[in-house]
Amino acid sequence: MGLLDGKKILVTGVLTDASIAFQAARLAQEEGATVLLTSFGRQAKLTQAIAKRLPAEAPVLQLDVQSQEDLDNLDAAVREHVDSLDGVVHSIGFAPQSVMGGNFLSGEWPDVATALEISAFSLKSLAVATQQLLRDGTPGGSIVGLTFDATLAWPVYDWMGVAKAAFESTARYLARDLGPDNIRVNLVSAGPIKTVAAKSIPGFEKLDAEWPERAPLGWDNSTAEPAGRAIAALLSDWFPATTGEIVHVDGGFHAMGS
């Protein structure tokens, strides 16, 4: 019997098989879940190609979190494949390079606003868009998002770090407001992994360089599977009383002093 037998999971953000979202989708299927993916625009072809590398090819639904039309249509699009959801994985983030890579002081509001809308507000947008689907699912629905520890000011991360701080706060408020529906909202804070998102950060290697030495368990930045396993666990029924939490999957780096 799998950890997620019979569950129906919506996963956003699958672009390559190196991504945390892909590992979460793969592990969810291996643990018995039915998985649906989302994508949009030019990325959709990439997602459709990568979907074929899953144990079972997953349908790809249209969703641009900046499009209210897509958000409004998501419920119906999901119901073309399943009658409800038991879990949602938020793996969406973007900031223009003009507000990262050492550009904190020169960052301008339009670009900062883009980072905040896509990387933080989208968690609320996705939660609202899937709220009824989760209500209709097995009692105890789960939303899991991905963050990068926002308690510190990291080199080169700049306004994306601010967006992640807003993202983490958004998750806590969602945990408060969705709790009465028995919907849990938790985050996984992964260490640096060589994904498409990471490669888009100017100077990413500065974040990555010292991680294996400072993390007491060590750190392998070439695999997203440990983070994917944490997501699968939080989607399962094994955390029925946990919400508003951030689970660190970083080799223990976050707990160490300098």
For residue 189, what are the CA distances in angstroms to 99, 226, 244?
Answer: 21, 11, 13
* CA proximity to 206, closest of 254, 248, 154, 162: 154
Pick the catalytic residue from 52, 124, 157, 194.
157
Count, residues in the chain: 258
Which of the residues 52, 164, 194, 206 is marked catalytic? 164
Q: Which residues, 6 or more positions from 248, have their beta carbon under 8 angstroms from its beta carbon? A: 149, 188, 189, 254, 255
Is 8 an annotated catalytic residue? no
Lay out the sheet containing 8-11: strands in order across. 60-62, 34-39, 8-11, 87-90, 142-147, 184-190, 246-249
What is the DSSP code (8-state) at residue 195?
Answer: S
Residue 17 structure tokens: 């098989």
Asked if residues 32 and 43 have their Cβ atoms less than 8 Å apart, the reply is: no
- Residue 164 is a catalytic residue: yes
Q: 162, 168, 166: which is closest to 145 by C-alpha? A: 168
Alpha-carbon torsion 196, 198, 201, 206, what sign?
negative
Letter string b/e over residues 209-248, b meaning 16 or more CB atoms within 10 A of that residue's CB: eebbebbeeebebeebbbbbbbbbbbbbeebeeebbebbb
The answer to whether the beta carbons of residues 184 and 239 sit under 8 Å apart is yes
Q: Which of 87, 190, 188 is nearest to 143 (CA)?
A: 87
Active-site residues, by number, are 157, 164
